[in-house]
Amino acid sequence: MDRPDTPQIKTGSFKSRVIEIGQGTMVVEGKYQGKVQRMTVMTDARTKIERQVQTGSEVTVRYREDAPGTLYATAVKGPKPKKS
């Protein structure tokens, strides 16, 4: 049963390109809410990193939005390795 005073946490995913990786953050550029934009996504020890992720990588970010405009990455999936 939902209580009216309990905020709803939004979740979702989007594809983007990694611009910068910092301590506890990742700056990405991709389509979010219908517009191409640059965003800072928070990361922590609970963020699941799949495959190699580095600056310039095309990634899929799964997130939760605890507060409007504050995105926390729950998982970041890097590109498939290229076949040799």
What is the domain partition of the chain in residue ranges?
Answer: 17-77
The pLDDT, as a whole number, for residue 26 is 96
Across 42-60, average pLDDT: 95
Counting beta carbons within 10 angstroms of the beta carbon of residue 61, is it exposed (0 to 12), middle (13 to 18) or buried (19 or more)?
A: buried
- Whether the model pTM is above 0.85: no
> What value does the mean pLDDT of the chain take?
89
Instruction: Give the percent of the chain with pLDDT over 70.
Output: 90
Task: Give 39's contacts (C-beta < 8 A, 6+ positions apart).
Answer: 16, 27, 28, 29, 30, 32, 71
Q: What is the pLDDT of residue 32?
A: 73
Taking residue 46's Cβ as centre, other Cβ atoms within 10 Å add up to: 9
Q: Which CATH architecture has domain 17-77?
A: Beta Barrel (2.40)
